[in-house]
Amino acid sequence: MKMVVATCQFPVSSDIKENQKYIIKQMKEAKEKGAAVAHFPETALSGYAGTDMPTLEGFDWVLLKKCTEEILDIARELRIWVVLGTTHPLSGNHKPHNSLYIINADGKLVDRYDKMFCAGDEKEQTGDLAHYTSGDYFCTFEINGVKCGTQICHDYRYPELYRVYKKKGVQVMFHSYHAANMEPERLEAIKSAVGKENLKYNHGLTYPEITMPATMTSYAANNFIWISASNSSAKESCWPAFFVRADGVTVGRLRRNVAGILITEVDTARDFYDSTVAWRDRSMNGVYYSGTLVEDPRSTDRMSF
């Protein structure tokens, strides 16, 4: 099966209307370039609490809903799917979800993914957990016969999630990030934490720039899953949006701090190198060896040469 993906980035901010302008513009550009789906960063429409705005106090939920409905209308007019980062309100005093809305080419909201592992400590007063409620739902859907899944930013630290999606038959992952809009002081702090003496050994200057792309490469290759990695381009952005093929090869990358879209054709029928294909299912089912075990006393005796 084939599917053309537009991996989008723009400078996500606290201005919902400005975010919407970028989103609609990039949806139209994606459609013009033949994309079946436009994939946007974490909290692309709403902005990211704790980074783009200090808190969600006084947040304009009415405007967010109106702008979301308008994006659904544009999706229907363009006949394009949209994976839209946003904030989803809950009832009462519950903190909202950090979410991805799955919008189909009919302009219908067909599913929603809520960030499972919001960063923060057990007291839920720091990081994402100071502003958001975690979810526990694995979101899957099909576009042009290709089975897709979703993740958000810090979820990348938990490889078990990708394994679950692999068991569900997911072929393409839409992983939305917001590793951007960093103040110079914060950027310098995480650069220094890496250690200047180590920079020459790494493809990046910060933890996000080093670990996030590297993890996407390994997850793609280990699970044989295509990955669209979208990020905000708000300066300073830690890295630009990119796309990884199922064999772990990066096939496209945008420019850091610059708005744009990356067009990639996914072809799940193409033959790529996959060194673990023979034994991956066995490992996922708890059988941790390849080939055939033998009964041999020299195998079980671990105290002799």
Looking at residue 183, its pLDDT comes to 87
Looking at residue 35, its pLDDT comes to 98
Residue 95 has pLDDT above 90, yes or no: yes
Q: Please state, in angstroms and rounded to a whole number, the distance separating the CA atoms of residues 242 and 251.
A: 8
Instruction: Encode pLDDT of 46-85 as tens digits.
Output: 999 999 999 999 999 999 999 999 999 999 999 999 999 9
Give the residue numbers spanning the domain of 85: 2-300
Residue 196 has pLDDT above 90, yes or no: no
Instruction: Encode pLDDT of 286-296 as tens digits.
Output: 999 999 999 99
In a domain, 305, yes or no: no
Instruction: Encode pLDDT of 140-172 as tens digits.
Output: 999 999 999 999 999 999 999 999 999 999 999
In a domain, 160, yes or no: yes
In a domain, 234, yes or no: yes
**Mean pLDDT taken over the chain:** 96
Looking at residue 25, its pLDDT comes to 98
User: Which residues, 6 or more positions from 111, have their beta carbon under 8 angstroms from its beta carbon?
Assistant: 102, 139, 141
- Give the whole-number percent of the chain exceeding pLDDT 90: 95
Lowest mean pLDDT among 33-47, 139-153, 189-203: 189-203
Number of domains in the chain: 1
In a domain, 207, yes or no: yes
Instruction: Encode pLDDT of 259-276 as tens digits.
Output: 999 999 999 999 999 999
| CATH number for position 169 | 3.60.110.10
In a domain, 54, yes or no: yes
Within a 10 A sphere around the Cβ of 252, how many other Cβ atoms? 16
Secondary element (H or E) of residue 31: helix 16-32
Q: What is the pTM of this model?
A: 0.96
In a domain, 87, yes or no: yes
Residue 254 has pLDDT above 90, yes or no: yes
Lowest mean pLDDT among 38-42, 108-112, 190-194: 190-194
Looking at residue 190, its pLDDT comes to 87
Within a 10 A sphere around the Cβ of 211, how many other Cβ atoms? 16
Q: In what order do the strands lie in the sheet with 226-230?
A: 140-143, 146-152, 172-176, 226-230, 242-244, 250-253
- Do 113 and 100 meet the contact criterion of CB atoms below 8 Å apart? yes
